[in-house]
Amino acid sequence: MWGSSGGYLGIAAITGDENGVAIISVSDEGIASTEIPLFLQIAVQQLQEYFDSKRTDFTFLLNPKRTEFQQKVWKSLVNIPFGKTITYLEQSKGLGDVKAIRAVASANGKNPLWIVVPCHRVIGSDGSLTGYAGGIWRKKWLLEHENPTTQQSLF
């Protein structure tokens, strides 16, 4: 999978059915399929638009299978604006329990919907890029893709 700003992130695997996308993951191994089921085509299209810098949110149906707590945590991730970040502590506070920071971080780590449920937008309290199942280098790439630094002109 290529982004418009260059760089290979890996092969995305999308799993789902007529009820929605259940899993989007990325790995360094695999073979890209040219046969995409009709009910997954919108997800593939929207992800490509994201990588082409033409999309900042997703509208296709999601259907992840997890616990009620995980669902609550993931729902809060969708509210983080494109190009912005929050800390795990801020996310825990937003969910109403600052003491649940480890459980929130754990739920983020089990997020099955890469990019679409943007756990990559959650960072450490010190601004560090921590805790990303897809690899810190991918988290860094995604954050830079969403908030590219532009060279300022001196003239």
User: Which residue is catalytic, options 116, 119, 123, 142?
Assistant: 119
φ/ψ (deg, to 5) at 90:
-65, -40
- The verdict on whether 119 is a catalytic residue reads yes
3-state secondary structure 94-151: HCCCHHHHHHHHHHHHCCCECCCCCHHHEECCCCCCCCCCCCHHHHHHHHHHHCCCCC
φ/ψ (deg, to 5) at 6:
85, 165
The residue type of 125 is S
Active site residues: 119
